[in-house]
Each structure stands twice: as structure tokens, then as C-alpha cells.
Structure 1
């Protein structure tokens, strides 16, 4: 979706009254003061935030670099549990940060190597973005971002060493200890927000860390049965996070959700035939994981 600015319209000969008329009739929709899109804003919150970023960068100082949550959006990371009502930028100066209604300006040192260009906009590198988020966000949200950046199928997947280098550069900066904890916990094997949040909930419940993306084969024939989200092989127990998106992504052409559910039931039966306890949970269970943790403990066999 193209972003246009008031100055462009004025330079093309349109008056302020005409622009206001375009807004009233829906021909133009303001993104922020002085910037517009033709027609309506996109329904997708991430697409709207990208427009807000581009509009804000047209008004900010030339040394402003998109950072934090806004950088995560531009890098295409999974987004969960954070507000998108403000554009986050960092300026290379020791003081002078401010948080307004539309823009949060952070002040910090910023190495030129920690800046990349995305769509013609300067953005903090993936490593610097994850480090910044680890310093600023609660543990669960930070882990979601770190897991997404390190995801093993991501073409430019992040290595822990790259984030450590950023943290080591300013070891006394506030939040660095929390960022290191996030990084120690993060993994490239979590395939969704739900799986990342599940790992945090499992750890908070005091359960042993699971093996992720564990492949199950039939003991008798060696035939592949399936890959489970999480497993405790010694305890003969597997765990599956069931998000609705999961089923949409596994549909084959012409297949409906009902078929997927039947296949999933047959797969679960095959897992139980291998003497594995199976525990499933959904989004709402993540807000109160205690009952799910007890179900997992009840399925655990003595190691």
C-alpha cells in the first residue's frame, strides 16, 4: 500500500480544502498528521504499523533508526504481547529519549554495524533488535521474539553469539542480565508463539525441559509415526500445543479441517500404541498452566 504525504499533494497542485474533502469521502485515510493512504487502512495490525513507521520516519531527525518492537515488525518476527500503537526508534546520543503518543525515541549508543536497511528504512540489525527487546520486555515476550529470530527455518536466522556480542559491548546497560537470561533460554526449534510460550510455562511450573520436535517411530517396524512439539522421552510422555493456525497450515489442496482432525486423532492413537502418554493444550491453558502441568506430571513414567 502506497504512503503519500501532504507535501506531495500540495506540490501537485491540490489545496488543503481538497485534501480534507478526500479524507471526508474516504478517498484518503490519514496514517498520521500529514501522511495518507488511498482508501482504507489495512486490516492487518502489522501492515498498519509498517505504514506508521514509514510515516514517522519522514518527520524524525536523520539519525533516527527504527528499533525495538518496530524493528521486530520490519524484520518479520512473530509478534505477541506487545503494543503496536507507538513507533520505536533509537537515536545515537547518550540522553534525550522521550515517549510520546505516537513515537518512542530511545537514546543509546548504536554501532554502524548494528544498522541495516529494510525497504529503504534504517533499522537495527536482528541481533541488536533482539538484544534491545531482551533488555526491555518481560521474559515471556522476549523469549517469543528471540525464538522467532533464531528459528531454524528462517533464511537469516540469528545465532546466539551475535546477540552475545551486542550484550558484551555494553555489559552494564540496564536490562542486560535479563537479556542474557532470555538468550540462554531461547531456541531455534520453537515453531510458533504458542510453542515458545509453552516452554516458558513448562519451566515456570518446574517441569524438566522437553525435547523439541521429537520424531516418533514405531518400535516394531521403525515406521515414522509423527513429529511432536515436545517430548520427555525418559518419562514416555509427549506434549502438543494446539493452535488453530496449526491446522490451517497443514491443509493440502482440497482438504478440510475435519480431515486434518481425523488424521490427528489417528496419529495420537498411534502414539499411545507406542506406550506414550499424550497431553494436549490450547491458547487459554497458557494463561493458567497449572492444570496442564499436573496432567503432564500424571503421565510421566518413572525415569
Structure 2
């Protein structure tokens, strides 16, 4: 679903107290429906029907909250952090990347906004305010919302989110900027890295600067999903240096691309997200069983052509570095068990601590 469609759905779902009262509800009637769950209160005076809320994904729910916040502030607000990331289309709503369960359901009710440094208060139960002296600077307009720029949003995420989330977002931003299909502009990659390092220097001493420098070094536009991004992080953390999107001759004469090749240990790796089997858009006309059979044949073909064993994993195996290490160990994949040094000692130290 495109961002514009998500925003349209979110805006259409939000109901003001005035609209509810014009439909015949009293103050008490609204309160009773909130208590029963028939209505969800997004913030004072703004609601959504419970069944609509339950049917939507966390990013669309959060857009509802942002629309209510924008309406409540008469459009005067700069969205930041996870709210800005939602507008930039970044993957910040996967609980598994934070090693948590069901937190997104709660977190999507909180709008993240910049506030002038002199502002008082926390923003209330449904808003989180970040006080910055430059709170009005480095902003963009997206579909009628004002939010922090992509670079600044990434810097804020580096300071506020687990590194797995920030790296997934960095990969997405870099891919959108420098890649067309499998074609990548290397000069664009270097310019992007230099820009992030300059931003890190400008924020010297601030929280998240080490993570921002690490993002400048580690982001890769070849990652095609958050699962690939986090899998790459876990690989580095246990001492493997994966090659990405490695071409292999296909059974029918075309080209297959391996998610990961661990050449030094003679294994290849493939990410196996649930969407491949259960997302209608990704699956097309095939049944889950047909997709599974296709993946099995592909795996066997690659093993035969490369003369290497392969290992597959999904979300559950990369939630922590310990789980990933255990999974590879069970398949006989050898690895050093300590963070790679190929990016230098500073990044190696960071990788040892990152989650």
C-alpha cells in the first residue's frame, strides 16, 4: 500500500467529538463507547472506531494518531523520530527488530514531535515532545504533514531505537537514493556516507552519534528487506563477512540471487520471511504450498550448482545474536563468535554492544 493511500485511509477513519455528537451521541455516550472499546480515543476530542483500529496495521494506526495530533495543533507541529519515519516509509513498526512483543500496539498511540527548547510539559499522554533549539530547522513537507528530513530522522532513530531498527531504516533510505533495481550508483553511496558522517560531526556529544557513525559505515543499498538488514548485522556480530545478492545460474537459464554467501566457510544463507508465503501481493496466484515447493527446489538447485550447503532462517532466528549463533551452529556453520574487524576497531566495538 502506497503512503498516500495509507494517509487517506487514516484521515477518513478519524472522527472528531463534534462529528460524533452531530451523529446523535452525547458526551456520556462517547465515554461509554470508549469504555467498551467501540471507540478508541486517539487524543482529547479525536476518535476512531474500534473495529477500524483493530483491522489496520501499526503504521496506518499511527497515521491516524498523527492526523489527530495535527488537527489538534491546527497543523502547527513538526513530527520527528518514529512519526517522521512513518512518513518517510521506514520500517519502524516491527516489534521483532526491538526484541519485544506487542509493543507497537501501544507505541503507535504516541505522536513524536519537535518542540522549541523553551517549551514546557511532556506533550501529554498521547504525544512525546523532543526539545531542540533548532526544532523548526531541517524539515520537509510530506502529504500535508511537516516532519524532519530523512537524514535528521535517521539520526534521531540512531539515538532512540535499537541499532537493528536504525540499520534497517538506513538501508531503506540508501536504497531509495542510490539504487534502481539492482543497479547502484557507487558515487551516490559515497556521497550519502559522507553526508551522514558530517551530520554525526555536527551532533558531537549528542546521544546516538556512535550509532550514526556506524550507520554511515554499515548501511548497504542491496538489502531488500528488514530481515536481510538484521541478518547482515547478526552475521557481522558473530564474525562472518557475508557477500550480498550473489548471482547464481538458475535451473531455467536465468539468474538467481543469493541473499548471503559466506564464502570463507562454504555456506550460503537465505532469509525466509513469512510474507513470502502468506502475503497475497508477494505470493501472487500461488498457494503457500506452491511457494514452499518452489523454494525447496531453488534451495536444492543452488546447493548443487555451488557445491555448498545452505541454511535458511526467519525472523525468529535473528531477534538476538545468540539465537542466530545457535541456529547456524545447529546447521554446522563455523564462525569465530566475535565481531568482525573489517570495518575498523571502533565499529567492531560498536557491533559487540549493538542489539
Same fold (TM over 0.5): yes
Query: Is the counterpart of residue 87 in structure 1 residue 111 in structure 2?
Result: yes
Structure 1 residues 18 and 222: CA distance shift in structure 2, 3 A: closer
Contact 2:267 2:333 in 1 (8 A): no
CA offsets 1:85-121 (integer angstroms, 9 cap, x no match): 4211112326757374321100114376621112212
CA distance in 1, matches of 2:165, 2:35: 39
- CA distance change for structure 1 residues 164 and 296 in 2, over 3 Å: closer, same or farther? farther
Q: TM-score, normalised by structure 2?
A: 0.70
Question: Is 1:57–2:70 an aligned residue pair?
Answer: yes
Q: In the alignment, which residue of structure 2 is the partner of 1:271? A: 302
Higher helix share: 2
2:68 counterpart of 1:68: no
Q: Which segments of 5 or more consecutive residues in structure 1 lack a partner in the other structure?
A: none
1:18-37 matched pairs, under 5 angstroms? 29-37=40-48
Distance 1:163 1:223, change over 3 A: same
Q: What is aligned with 1:216?
A: 248
Provide Cα deviations, 1:43-79, integer angstroms capped at 9, x if missing partner: 2222111111121233348753100011111222112
Residue in 1 aligned with 2:257? 227
Instruction: Please state if 1:188 is matched with 2:221.
Output: yes
Select the residue among 290, 293, 315 that pairs with 1:283. 315
Alignment of 1:111-130 (within 5 A): 114-130=138-154
Segment drifting more, 281-290 vs 19-28: 19-28
Measure, in 2, the Cα distance between the counterparts of 1:97 and 1:130: 25
Change (3 A) 1:85 1:39: closer
The question of whether the paired residues in 1 share the 8 Å contact of 2:239 and 2:335 is answered with no
Larger Rg: 1
C-alpha deviations, 1:208-267, integer Å up to 9, x for none? Answer: x2111111127xx993352111113454421011111123454233x2121121121111
Conserved in 2, the CA contact under 8 Å of 1:205 and 1:293? Answer: no
Taking only aligned residues, the RMSD between alpha carbons, in angstroms, comes to: 3.5
Alpha-carbon separation, structure 2, partners of 1:270 and 1:299: 25
Question: Structure 2: how far apart are the matches of 1:28 and 1:212?
Answer: 47
2:212 aligned partner: 179
Aligned-partner Cα distance in 2 for 1:222–1:39: 50
How many residue pairs align between the two structures?
295
* Mean Cα deviation higher: 131-140 or 146-155: 146-155
For the 8 Å contact 2:91–2:165, the answer to whether it is kept is no
In structure 2, relative to structure 1, the CA distance for the partners of 1:280 and 1:227 (3 Å cut) is: same
What is the TM-score when the length of structure 1 is the normalising length?
0.81
